[in-house]
Amino acid sequence: MPSNMSKRIATDPAFERTRENMAEFERAGRAGKLLTDSLRILANNASDGKLTSRLAKGMSKVIKADPLNDRGQRTVTDGNLLLIRGFDFNGDAKLTTVFFAPYTATVDRAAGTLKVDITPFVPKSMLKAPAGATHFSVVSAGAEIDFDNSVHIGANSATAELVYGDQLEAAISLNNAVTANSTLPLFLALGVRYYQQVNGKFYPLNSGRHNALAIVQVDVPAAPPPAAGNAKAA
């Protein structure tokens, strides 16, 4: 873009809407990267080529749901982060299309624990595995994110490599610990990784193309009560 046009966009009142849109789009991009970074260990093995743009689009919806700030000043923190629940990091292998076992996703803000409890299941009945997969593992991660200061704390957990067969697997509980009594948004992710066992060794299948990872729970802190000075007189 020519420098004179860049200067005009930056200063001309006619481009005020453009500046507002650009500011919020950049804010959405940073928020998406922060969420991905907080889950990086798992996201690296379960993502598609459009993850960055898809997540930025999702965060843009969060920002546009901010009811407090003016256009161009809206933020992720004041937006509706619950809109990110259900987001798939790998659009080519969505969690709801490959993993069918019943589970419960729980966030205990006071204790700082984010966990997934999965009932006993038969892998070949409750998993859609790619050709060549002999084993799989169920993975989970929890994240605590300060979007305003670009800081995150993350934890992850996983089962051992389990046989992709007709056996009944025992119940699974995956626990992730963050800060107890956190005042920040909390995110819980669940996913599946596939492996092929050769000569006793486990090899990730197809560089993660078939692995799934999705945000299954989002918990935002309760809004503080209005200051006493702002209360209306009875």
Given a contact cutoff of 8 angstroms between Cβ atoms, the answer to whether 194 and 129 are in contact is: yes
Percent of the chain with pLDDT over 70: 85
Q: Using pLDDT thresholds of 50, 70 and 90, give the confidence band for residue 234.
A: very low
Distant-in-sequence, close-in-space partners of 85: CB < 8 Å, separation ≥ 6: 215, 216, 217, 218
Q: What are phi and psi of 121, to 5 degrees?
A: -150, 160
Higher pLDDT, 44 or 12: 44
* DSSP collapsed to 3 states, the chain: CCHHHHHHHHHCHHHHHHHHHHHHHHHHHHHHHHHHHHCHHHHCCCCCCCHHHHHHHHHHHHHHCCCCCCCCCCCCCCCCHHHHCCCECCCCCCHHHHECCCEEEEEECCCCEEEEEECCECHHHHECCCCCCCEEEEEEEEEEEECCCCEEEEEEEECCCEECCCCCECCEEEEEECCCCCCCCEEEEEEEEEEEEECCEEEECHHHCCCEEEEEEEECCCCCCCCHHHCCCC
Q: Using pLDDT thresholds of 50, 70 and 90, give the confidence band for residue 71.
A: confident
Given a contact cutoff of 8 angstroms between Cβ atoms, the answer to whether 123 and 170 are in contact is: no
Q: Indicate if the pLDDT at residue 60 is higher than 60.
A: yes
Higher pLDDT, 227 or 103: 103
90-135 pLDDT, tens digit per residue, is 999 999 999 999 999 999 999 999 999 999 999 999 999 999 999 9
Given a contact cutoff of 8 angstroms between Cβ atoms, the answer to whether 195 and 137 are in contact is: yes
Q: Indicate if the pLDDT at residue 5 is higher than 90.
A: no
168-222 pLDDT, tens digit per residue, is 999 999 999 999 999 999 999 999 999 999 998 999 987 678 999 999 999 999 7
Predicted local confidence at residue 232, as pLDDT: 43
Distant-in-sequence, close-in-space partners of 114: CB < 8 Å, separation ≥ 6: 105, 106, 107, 108, 140, 142, 155, 175, 176, 177, 178, 186, 187, 188, 217
Predicted local confidence at residue 93, as pLDDT: 94
- Rounded CA-CA distance 6/72 in Å is 18
Hey, what are 219's tokens? 């918990």
Percent of the chain with pLDDT over 90: 77
201-204 and 162-163 beta bridge pairing: unpaired
Predicted local confidence at residue 77, as pLDDT: 94
Q: Indicate if the pLDDT at residue 231 is higher than 50.
A: no
Q: Using pLDDT thresholds of 50, 70 and 90, give the confidence band for residue 63.
A: very high
